[in-house]
Structure 1
Amino acid sequence: MIFGRVKPLDAILATAEKKSLHRSLGPVQLTLLGVGAIIGTGIFVLTAEAAQKAGPGMMISFIIAGFVCAVAALCYSELASMVPVSGSAYTYTYAVMGELLAWMVGWALVLEYAVAASAVSVGWSGYIVGLLRDTVHVNVPVALANGPYAGGIVNLPAMIIAMLVTWLLMIGTTESARVNAVLVAVKVAALSLFCIITLPLIKGDQFTPFTPNGWGIIGVGGAAASIFFAYVGFDAVSTAAEETKNPQRNVPIGLIGSLLICTIFYLLVAGGAIGMIGAQPVTGLNGEVLSPGSSELAARCAEIVSSGATLPLACSKEALAHVLKIGGYDWAGYFMGLAAGLALPSVILMMLFGQTRIFFVMARDGLLPEKLATIHPKWKTPHIVTFITGVFVAIAAAFLPVGKLADVSNSGTLFAFFMVSLAVLILRRTDPGRRRPFRTPLVWIVAPLSIVGCVGLYFLLPFDAKMVLPIWGGLGLVIYFAYGYRKSHVGRGIIDVPEHEAYEELKPDVPATH
């Protein structure tokens, strides 16, 4: 039976011990790693997307999305402390629910990482184009700074940064924990400065009406589903379990600590943006609701600018910098653009590295061809799969809007979180005696809340984003039954799967995050 192909937890742990990674990360590094992975395009860019859907009600959206992530994080913490190995949700699912579902989760994670890298590339493009325009007066033509959805031809800066990061990964350039910490500090400093400037200038009337579009898909609920992307990254801490000192204690601290810090930041940033310049959605000439990322919204925003009016928050491609500039703090807006320009490429790099890691672990289990993880003799990197992934990431970034990309990425992420929450419950029933260094509190309440939250947010995504997951999943099933089912190590009775010889060459100084 397919569902009977379970890789025993003891075998997974034995595999990890056979050639374990160097354990060097403590709780502070893990928390910084989580904060660095979480704070990215989500808060820097999707604030505009949230404004168009929910208006000031986006603050409730941040709370909803943060709550779903919190209960999912508690489920992640239990499994990560029990199974401190690489592979994240894919490995956990393999141990609990079998190979087929593990494949589906791994395949969904591929969607999450790759599309998220595209979304961050588009977010970086918006900030860097604004920074070039306002500081050195270099105007990137509209046709080359936007995809077809916004009246352009191709988003060239997004495409360039995606391919540049791909090239860096191919030749073996990786980040050190120290560089990662510096970049986290830059992002946190930029957001702190934003809060210091905007919070004292909040005007109460900017919060009315609070929910102009209601609570549905184009409203607070839909905004929560979209800006869920702003929190994604905390699960990357669990992929670092194999490289963590005392993972039973430190992984939960890193997961929950980074999530808590980011939630507080997001609420303060959202409040500052709304209170300073307002965040009401842009409507059509007849008062109709316009969808974020649509050509209709882009055309309406262009009309507003041509009339001499101030560009609304919902129209901005550099949301936080835009708020500061409108408020008269140009220098702070430039710093925000610079912070995004410096920090977001590191997020793209970590996402793309996370993609190669998932491919590596799946190839290690025989579910993907070993050829995909071929190591370059000079660069010591999986250059083939890195190049293929980078090309797809660059193409998506060149032609699609950031909101659409974030929604598609969310569909894969929500599926993975759903499976982890289910795995915790199943493992509590099937293996109750196993040592659990961290136990999810009130698991029979927390895990179902996570499951319901993930399903709810999935159905609040736009229709096209919802449909990508089953189509992508169908493609994955074809590949699995054509190749993975026959070549699987577990299916062939090879339980103790050795680590790839070059894995030590693949791992960076900090674990893959996204």
Structure 2
Amino acid sequence: MLFGRIKPLDAILNVAAKKSLPRTLGAFQLMLFGIGCVIGTGIFVLTAAGAQKAGPGLMLAFAIAGAICIVAALCYAEIAAMIPVSGSAYTYTYATMGELLAWTVGWALILEYAVAASAVSVGWSGYFAGTILNEFLGIQLPAWLAAGPLILGGAPGGFINLPALVIALLVTWLLVLGTRESALFNTVLVAIKVTALTVFLVLTLPEIEMQRFNPLLPAGVFGGFGSGIGAVGAAATIFFAYVGFDAVSTAAEETKNPQRNVPIGLVGSLLFCTVFYILVAAGAIGSIGGQPIMGPDGIPFPAGSEELARQCALPQYAGMLVCSDEALAHVLREIGYSGIGNMLGIAAFVALPSVILVLLFAQTRIFFVMSRDGLLPEGLSKVHPKWNTPYIVTYITGAVVAVGAAFLPVGQLADISNGGTLYAFMMVAIAVMILRRTAPGVKRHFRTPALWLVGPATILGCIFLFLNLPFLAMLVLPIWAAIGLVIYFAYSRGNSRLGRGIVEVVDDVEGDETAIPLGER
């Protein structure tokens, strides 16, 4: 049967039981963890792209994306607490809907994490070139080394984004060596990010002039399916700013009183970030203006497009928010706080490489688990004898990420990444509803409240945002899926360990595994 290969839930839960950890986390700790995971690339990098799509309606876009993330987070919390093993949405789908759909989810996650890492690399490059090189060292990076070619949405005169390429390769090398963030390092980075944004608010909110919000919705609320403009189109892009909250749900097994503390941690951190993001958008737009650059037809030029790049090269648009590669630092410089703007640029410069590392690590983890399941060549999961890391798949991933970062703009990369993320979130919501029927007796440390409402709301919200991505970004996911299906039927289905009669659950990159012959379950 095409959809008959379902990995037994009892085998997965047996491994989870062997890995049980003490419950030490409270609601406040989970909230801080969530805030640290969420605040990052999106707000530092995508503010300009979001403003070009929606103008002052960017504030509404943050609210829309945040609301969809909150319902998705509640679904993630239940299934992550119930199946606390590696593989994220891929593993959840394997245990509920079978191997074929699990393959599509894992294949989408590979795209999501790799493209997201490329997007962060491009965002880091903007702060490096604008703050570190230009403002501090007085060095103007040549145009041909600072952005991808115009034909791919880069800047006029651009050929390759060298800083983005270098940071992607550097983080890949560190990951191969086994570098991971320590709790202390993470705490320091969270403090840097939150402090930088708080200072931004303190300085920009008093500078707000209400006329800069008029018109509030220059492209409307809904720009039309596939247009990528309007408040909803911007929400589909800056959805990227919320990705990372699912890390909170993975801590459910280590949480005291998870029925109470997990939803507080998830919803609390997302509400905090949503309000924070709306205020940052208000400060940026209200202090220097954030109206989009309109085309001759009265519709904003697409973010990351060749047309917009040409307009931004003109002197009259050079200082606009929508043309900046380092939006928040640019805002502070425009209102007379150049020194503090440079410090904010340094904060982004320091903090963003850690996001690249986390994304690359997550991508290689998914790749690794799929390889160990036999769905990808087992040679990809080979562990380095000295560094004890899956170096082959890490090198491959790093090379792809570096190439994407070198030639594509951040807005396009974020849109492509969001397609895979939205698909994974939708499948998690479906998996939670299926497990409520197929495994009602399995212990749940957290139960999604009003699942009859939250589950369908997550599914419809994800579909709605996906349909409001730019048309070309929407095309990437089905094309990528079609490539994946060819690989699945040509290789993966015949080499699957589950298909060969062995259930193998992997819960650690270093190789902890449990193999159970199907006849002995």
Task: Identify the TM-score tier after normalising by the shorter chain.
Answer: over 0.9
Distance between the aligned counterparts of 1:353 and 1:378, measured in 2?
Answer: 18
Q: SS of the residue aligned with 1:495?
A: strand
Match of 2:10 in 1: 10
1:170 and 2:176 are equivalent in the alignment: yes
Compute the displacement of 1:36 (Å). Answer: 2.7
Map of 2:518 onto structure 1:
none
Partners of 1:406 and 1:264 lie apart in 2 by: 21
Letter of the aligned partner of 2:339 in structure 1? W
Query: 2:494 aligned with 1:490, yes or no?
Result: no
1:118/1:397 contact within 8 Å kept: yes
Match among 292, 314, 331 for residue 323 of structure 1: 331
Cα deviation, 1:184-224, whole Å, max 9, x if unaligned, reads: 11011111111111112211111110000112132111101
Distance of 2:117 and 2:502 partners within structure 1: 34
| Contact 2:368–2:393 (CA under 8 A) maintained in structure 1 | no
**Alpha-carbon deviation of 1:136?**
1.8
Secondary structure at the aligned position of 2:325 is classed as coil
User: Secondary structure at the residue paired with 2:503?
Assistant: coil
1:209 to 215, 232, 239: 215
Instruction: Classify the secondary structure of the residue corresponding to 2:53.
Output: helix
Residue in structure 2 matched with residue 40 of structure 1 by the alignment = 40
| 1:229-260: CA deviation from partner (whole Å, max 9, x where unpaired) | 11111123344567x35594565454333322
1:54 positional shift? 0.4
Q: Deviations over 1:74-99 (max 9, x none)?
A: 11111112112222111111111111
* Contact 1:52/1:281 (<8 A) preserved: yes
2:286 and 2:506 map into 1 onto residues whose CA distance is 56
Query: Which amino acid is 1:405 matched to?
Result: L
Q: Among residues 418, 426, 434, which one is paired with 1:418 in the alignment?
A: 426
What runs of 5+ residues in structure 2 fail to find an aligned partner? 513-521
CA–CA distance in structure 2, aligned partners of residues 223 and 24 of structure 1: 39
Q: Where in structure 2 are the equivalents of 1:423-462 lying within 5 Å?
A: 423-462=431-470
The size of the alignment, in residue pairs, is: 499
The offset of 1:288, in angstroms, is 4.9
- The separation in 1 between residues aligned to 2:466 and 2:289, in whole angstroms, is 28
Shift of 1:283: 2.0
Alignment CA distance shift 1:29-1:170 (3 Å): farther
Q: CA RMSD in A?
A: 2.0
Equivalent residue number for residue 515 of structure 2: none
Q: In the alignment, what sits opposite 2:517?
A: none
Could you tell me how far apart the structure 2 residues matched to 1:429 and 1:460 are? 32
Give the corresponding residue for 1:161: 167
Q: Structure 1 residue 302 and structure 2 residue 308: aligned?
A: no
1:7-41 deviation digits (Å, cap 9, x = unpaired): 122210112344x3866873455444432332222
What TM-score do you get using the length of structure 1 for normalisation? 0.93
Moved more, 147-156 or 287-296: 287-296
State the match for 2:384 in structure 1: 376
Please give the alpha-carbon distance, in whole angstroms, between the structure 2 residues aligned to 1:489 and 1:25: 36
Contact 2:50 2:237 in 1 (8 A): yes
Give the match for residue 519 of structure 2. none
**CA pair 461-468 structure 1, distance change in 2 beyond 3 A:** same
What TM-score does the superposition give when structure 2 sets the normalisation length? 0.91
Any residues of structure 2 matched to 1:74-473 within 5 Å, and which? Answer: 74-131=74-131, 132-148=133-149, 149-151=154-156, 152-214=158-220, 215-216=222-223, 217=227, 218-239=229-250, 244=254, 248=258, 251-284=262-295, 287-303=298-314, 305=315, 307=316, 311-473=319-481
CA distance in 2 between partners of 1:299 and 1:463 (Å): 21
Q: Is contact 2:312–2:318 with CA below 8 Å preserved after alignment? A: no
The change in CA–CA distance for 1:300 and 1:285 in structure 2 (over 3 A counts) is farther
Aligned mates of 2:63, 2:346 — CA distance in 1: 28
Contact 1:226–1:461 at 8 Å: present in 2 too? Answer: yes
Structure 1 runs not aligned, ≥5 long: 505-514
The amino acid across from 2:210 in the alignment is: G
Structure 2 CA distance, aligned partners of 1:500 and 1:189?
34
What residue number does 1:26 align with? Answer: 25
Aligned residue identity for 1:15: V
- Indicate how the Cα distance of structure 1 residues 75 and 484 shifts in structure 2: closer, same or farther if over 3 A, else same: same
